[in-house]
């Protein structure tokens, strides 16, 4: 057995099945995946040969169902080796994979299955299917394969446990037609933060072109270990964490669940992290809270260490002079950064953030303490990565340069438009929606606004549709304001409001521990009428670099956190703005009731007719 996985000849790989088969042939005995087995209380590793055997079993079983090429199979399960096996096996037969978030609601999952016309469902827990089928007949689904035991569901003959269904005796069947690069591989439903989810159709060429381009800019390397904790139903995880790892020959360990993330980081000790900003935000808040409790001298030294590390980073990036006493500053940064890096396993050589904007302040803190973190930009319709920073050319305020082969331009209203082999085929059964975002010559309208385009580097402000236009004509980007407010330890979750209103307000789910401490320092309790004015004064300091019209003038504190269970968050933990606005409509109206905007007050003063 060779010491490390071999590099693949990318020129000979045209489909995702080619990619997997090439990796198995090149690295049969090398570790591919790692899964925690609760019953044995240990991690178990699978080689590429192990996975190939599992894929063959899945292929034979799917072939037994007599599914035709082009039919859809849906996977609703947490990340695991069988997720990978089902995905590759289905594609090897020319089937189309529809991934559902395991945390999705029964109603949403049922609607997706119905819209996609899925013929077979792979579901982690048969109880999930029971909840889905209670309100959706879904007669087109001919088989439901439950990864967990399916006892007690004999009334639905379609349901069968994986252990009873999986055919592990025969060789993998061949697809009834050769799989082509432009064949539909995946229908990925957008998370629907502001509207109904749409089924994004992605071909083998779309996804592979994106994987290859990502590998050119931020390559995983043989021997890397990635911890997979974002859902595989999310294209960011699937492209950057799953298919990319196959190309590189890297090993992927599957996080048990988000509650065990810190444990798994310490046990797996990954070298690569692919994450959304929310995970980094939580670690940042934890760091800030711990630093705050240290003696003042250690707090000062922490700030000095972070700033020294940041100045050295700018020097290495050729964007600043070499700092005085640079060697001493680096030693200080390493000393204070060690505990942060140890909490992530102690071996992370690269962290990639995507899926939403990462606060430059958070990036500066981690980079200054020694964690190389780069931010990228993408959307499901682009398979999904459009641009990314490179570790050697990294501006945390930007989302980097477009990937090789990806064109970008600035459209009307400053909208970012994208063209390239990674751009989707269209939306499933929705020609009107497709035509609205995809031009005849292949330009995809992203709906995201660019603040400036300098030397091709992209700086994204936020969603054009989410741009708040107040009744006084002023415009504010809520994403930027929310990003800065989230840096405050008092703020656990927040959305900024103000569309067609005279001024901005905010709904805030506070961090209860931080709020208790704030009340103690202010000499008040949480029901004290002076709490909100004191909180507003603090928020004003948080946003003091924004103009007057972009300040928060009223705030409502909410007791209930936003979660996927109460439908306030998408499965990728983005706030469902429309749902939140509907849920708290009365609270929002109360924020504006009987209040004038600051401009109205000034106008009344100057036009006072007395």
pLDDT given for residue 298 in this prediction: 92
Q: How confident is the model at residue 600 (pLDDT cuts 50, 70, 90)?
A: very low
85 pLDDT more than 60? yes
Q: In terms of domains, do 303 and 244 share one?
A: no
Q: In terms of domains, do 341 and 213 share one?
A: no
Mean pLDDT of all residues in 24-47? 96
- Decide if 264 contacts 36 (C-beta within 8 A): yes
Instruction: Name, of 42-56, 99-113, 144-158, 407-421, the range with top average pLDDT.
Output: 42-56
Q: In terms of domains, do 237 and 160 share one?
A: yes
- Decide if 401 contacts 378 (C-beta within 8 A): no
Token pair recorded at residue 449: 């606004």
2 pLDDT more than 60? no
Q: In terms of domains, do 312 and 451 share one?
A: yes
Q: In terms of domains, do 514 and 455 share one?
A: no
336 pLDDT more than 90? yes
Q: In terms of domains, do 238 and 367 share one?
A: no
4 pLDDT more than 50? yes
pLDDT given for residue 606 in this prediction: 26
Q: Which contacts qualify for 140-147: CB closer than 8 Å, 24 or more apart?
A: 141/113, 142/65, 143/65, 143/119, 144/120, 145/120, 145/121, 147/77, 147/80, 147/82, 147/122, 147/123
Q: In terms of domains, do 430 and 495 share one?
A: no
Q: How confident is the model at residue 601 (pLDDT cuts 50, 70, 90)?
A: very low
pLDDT given for residue 191 in this prediction: 60
Separation CA 96–CA 434 (nearest Å): 19
Residues spanned by the domain of 401: 276-463
608 pLDDT more than 60? no
Question: In this structure, what CATH number is given to the domain that contains residue 548?
Answer: 3.30.300.30
- CA–chain centroid gap for 496, Å, is 21
Q: Is 2 part of a structural domain of the chain?
A: no
219 pLDDT more than 60? yes
Query: What is the helix (H) or strand (E) element at residue 283, kind and residue range?
Result: helix 277-292
Q: In terms of domains, do 361 and 445 share one?
A: yes
Q: In terms of domains, do 262 and 292 share one?
A: no
CA distances from 50 to 31, 71, 413 (A): 9, 27, 52
Q: Is 1 part of a structural domain of the chain?
A: no
pLDDT given for residue 258 in this prediction: 87
Q: Is 482 part of a structural domain of the chain?
A: yes
| 543 or 78, which is more confident | 78
Q: How confident is the model at residue 394 (pLDDT cuts 50, 70, 90)?
A: very high
- Decide if 450 contacts 416 (C-beta within 8 A): yes
Q: Is 512 part of a structural domain of the chain?
A: yes
Q: What is the pLDDT of residues 278-305, one digit of tens each?
A: 788 889 988 988 898 899 999 999 999 9
Nearest Cα residue to 345 out of 219, 211, 255: 255
Token pair recorded at residue 160: 């069968």
Domain count, the chain: 3
Q: What is the pLDDT of residues 160-176, one digit of tens each?
A: 999 999 987 766 676 66
Lowest average pLDDT, out of 182-191, 448-457, 496-505, 581-590, goes to: 448-457
Mean pLDDT of all residues in 571-599? 79
151 pLDDT more than 90? no
Q: Is 25 part of a structural domain of the chain?
A: yes
314 pLDDT more than 60? yes
Query: 428-445: b or e for each residue (b if 16 or more CB lie within 10 Å)?
Result: beeeebbeebbeeeebbb
Nearest Cα residue to 508 out of 491, 525, 521: 491
pLDDT given for residue 320 in this prediction: 94
Q: Which of 272, 305, 327 is the last residue of a domain?
A: 272
Nearest Cα residue to 291 out of 303, 278, 309: 303
Q: In terms of domains, do 227 and 284 share one?
A: no
Lowest average pLDDT, out of 205-209, 333-337, 438-442, 480-484, goes to: 480-484
Q: How confident is the model at residue 605 (pLDDT cuts 50, 70, 90)?
A: very low
Separation CA 318–CA 605 (nearest Å): 53
Mean pLDDT of all residues in 314-340? 93
Question: In this structure, what CATH number is given to the domain that contains residue 115?
Answer: 3.40.50.12780
246 pLDDT more than 50? yes
SS (H, E, C) 78-109: CCCHHHHHHHHHHHHCCCEEEEECCCCCHHHH
- DSSP string of 509-527? EE-HHHHHHHHHHHT--TT
Mean pLDDT of all residues in 511-538? 90
Mean pLDDT of all residues in 260-277? 95
Q: In terms of domains, do 258 and 283 share one?
A: no
Q: In terms of domains, do 259 and 385 share one?
A: no
Q: Which of 237, 272, 307 is the last residue of a domain?
A: 272
Q: Is 87 part of a structural domain of the chain?
A: yes
pLDDT given for residue 453 in this prediction: 59
Separation CA 421–CA 410 (nearest Å): 19
Nearest Cα residue to 556 out of 512, 608, 497: 497
Token pair 């808040």 is at which residue? 285
Q: Which of 463, 488, 506 is the last residue of a domain?
A: 463
Q: Is 3 part of a structural domain of the chain?
A: no
Angle, vertex CA 230, rays to CA 428 and CA 163, nearest 5: 80
Nearest Cα residue to 363 out of 339, 336, 396, 314: 396
Mean pLDDT of the chain: 89
Q: Is 559 part of a structural domain of the chain?
A: yes
Token pair 């994979």 is at which residue? 97
Helices and strands (H and E) in the chain: how many: 21, 26
pLDDT given for residue 217 in this prediction: 94
**pTM score, whole prediction:** 0.84
Nearest Cα residue to 424 out of 586, 201, 582, 209: 201
602 pLDDT more than 50? no
211 pLDDT more than 80? yes
- DSSP conformational letter for 412: G
Mean pLDDT of all residues in 525-532? 88
| 5 or 603, which is more confident | 5
pLDDT given for residue 167 in this prediction: 85
Mean pLDDT of all residues in 206-225? 94
pLDDT given for residue 156 in this prediction: 85
């Amino acid at each position: 057995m060779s010491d490390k996985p071999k590099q693949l000849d990318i020129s000979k790989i045209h489909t995702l099945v080619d990619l997997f088969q090439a990796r198995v042939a090149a690295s049969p005995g090398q570790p591919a995946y790692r899964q925690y087995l609760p019953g044995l209380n240990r991690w178990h590793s699978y080689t590429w040969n192990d996975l190939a055997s599992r894929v063959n079993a899945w292929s034979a079983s799917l072939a037994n169902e007599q599914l035709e090429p082009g039919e859809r199979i849906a996977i609703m399960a947490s990340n695991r080796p069988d997720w990978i096996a089902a995905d590759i096996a289905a594609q090897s037969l020319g089937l189309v994979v529809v991934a559902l978030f395991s945390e999705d609601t029964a109603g949403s999952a049922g609607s997706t299955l119905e819209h996609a016309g899925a013929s077979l469902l792979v579901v982690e827990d048969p109880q999930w299917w029971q909840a889905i089928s209670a309100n959706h007949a879904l007669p087109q689904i001919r088989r439901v394969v439950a990864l967990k035991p399916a006892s007690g569901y004999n009334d639905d003959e379609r349901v069968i446990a994986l252990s009873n269904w999986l055919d592990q005796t025969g060789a993998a069947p061949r697809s009834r037609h050769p799989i082509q690069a432009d064949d539909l591989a995946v229908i990925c439903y957008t998370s629907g933060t502001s509207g109904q989810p749409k089924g994004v159709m992605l071909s083998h060429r779309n996804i592979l072109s994106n994987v290859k381009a990502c590998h050119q800019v931020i390559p995983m390397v043989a021997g890397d270990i990635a911890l997979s904790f974002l859902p595989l139903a999310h294209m960011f995880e699937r492209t950057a964490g799953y298919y990319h790892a196959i190309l590189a020959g890297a090993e992927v360990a599957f996080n048990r669940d988000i509650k065990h993330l810190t444990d798994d980081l310490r046990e797996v000790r990954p070298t690569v992290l692919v994450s959304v900003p929310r995970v980094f935000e939580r670690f940042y808040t934890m760091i800030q809270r711990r630093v705050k409790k240290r003696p003042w001298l250690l707090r000062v030294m922490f700030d000095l260490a972070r700033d020294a590390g940041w100045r050295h980073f700018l020097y290495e990036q050729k964007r600043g002079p070499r700092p005085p006493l640079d060697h001493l500053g680096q030693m200080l940064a390493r000393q204070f950064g060690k505990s942060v890096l140890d909490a992530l396993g102690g071996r992370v050589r690269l962290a990639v953030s995507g899926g939403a904007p990462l606060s430059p302040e958070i990036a500066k803190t981690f980079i200054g303490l020694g964690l190389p973190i780069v931010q990228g930009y993408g959307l499901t319709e682009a398979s999904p990565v459009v641009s990314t920073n490179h570790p050697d050319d990294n501006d945390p305020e930007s989302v980097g340069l477009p990937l090789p082969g990806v064109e970008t331009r600035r459209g009307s209203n400053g909208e970012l438009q994208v063209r390239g082999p990674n751009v989707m085929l269209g939306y499933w059964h929705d020609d009107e929606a497709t035509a609205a975002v995809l031009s005849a010559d292949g330009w995809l309208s992203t709906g995201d606004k660019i603040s400036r385009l300098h030397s091709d580097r992209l700086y994204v402000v936020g969603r054009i549709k989410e741009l708040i236009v107040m009744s006084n004509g002023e415009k504010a980007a809520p994403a930027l304001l929310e990003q800065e407010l989230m840096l405050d330890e008092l703020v656990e979750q927040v959305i900024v409001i103000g569309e067609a209103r005279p001024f901005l307000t905010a709904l805030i789910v506070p961090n209860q521990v931080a709020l208790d401490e704030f009340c103690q320092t202010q000499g008040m309790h949480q029901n004290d009428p002076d709490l909100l004015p004191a909180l507003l004064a603090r928020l004003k300091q948080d946003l003091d670099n924004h103009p007057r019209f972009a300040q928060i003038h009223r705030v409502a504190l909410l007791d209930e956190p936003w979660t996927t269970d109460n439908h306030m968050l998408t499965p990728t933990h983005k706030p469902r703005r429309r749902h939140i606005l509907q849920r708290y409509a009365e609270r929002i109206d109360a924020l504006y009731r009987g209040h004038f905007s600051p401009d109205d007050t000034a106008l009344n003063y100057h036009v006072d007719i007395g």
